[in-house]
Amino acid sequence: MHDRIGLAAGDIYQTLEQNQETPLSRLARKTGLPVNLFYMGLGWLAKENKIDFRLDKRTIYVSLKK
């Protein structure tokens, strides 16, 4: 399972490289990952301090750390 989570994190990272800051819901759709793998991959990237989150009203945006 760890390998699948790592691959999901890689997919999310590549999607963010191409799209810059992206709303969380749009990022999930763009990756096409199953919901559980999407959130596990997102957690992996957050744990490794690779991504930033920004809350604007009711929308969460995700971007790569600079």
Domain limits for position 45:
2-64
What CATH number is attached to the domain comprising 37?
Answer: 1.10.10.10
pLDDT given at position 66: 82
Cβ–Cβ under 8 Å, residues 20 and 63: yes
- What total of structural domains would you count in the chain? 1
Mean predicted confidence (pLDDT) in 12-32: 95
pLDDT given at position 12: 97
pLDDT confidence band for 64 (50 / 70 / 90)? very high
> pLDDT digit string (tens) for 28-46?
999 999 999 999 999 999 9
Helix (H) or strand (E) holding 55: strand 51-56
pLDDT given at position 61: 98
Nearest to 42 by CA among 64, 57, 58: 64
